[in-house]
Amino acid sequence: MLQRPLLHRYGGLTVTACVLIIGAIFLSPWLGEGSKILLNAPPRAWLCVIELGVFPAAIGYASWSYVIHALGVAKGTIFLYFLPPMTFLLAFFLEGSWPDLYTILGGAIVMIGVALAHKKKRPSLKA
């Protein structure tokens, strides 16, 4: 809700950049320690840090800004229900991890509930 007026005024890319910069400012107290740890880390750790910076941060915020600008907050929040399945797919393809049976069943139940909630017809209000 806070982003929508900013999106109309400045555009999605600018708002996304500002959100990431503000997040970086709030994380700056841990920059020194994190840098020391990362300098001594193996290359796989570097790849994981880059992956976290590109996928959930840059692409995620830019996509969210575009959806809010194009559809509005009310319609755009429907796409938040796709985060768990997309996280599962990214974890599988990028990390090779596989959730257990209970996680898959729980996710399926949630997605079925979301589908049923949005499929239900709502009564129209007539004056």
Which residue, 103, 80, 76, is CA-closest to 92? 103
Q: pLDDT tens across 41-77, in order?
A: 999 988 888 888 887 777 877 888 888 888 887 788 8
Please determine, for residue 123, whether its predicted confidence score (pLDDT) is greater than 70. no
Q: Span 23-48, mean pLDDT? A: 90
Cβ atoms 78, 64 nearer than 8 A = no
Top pLDDT among 26 and 7 is at 26
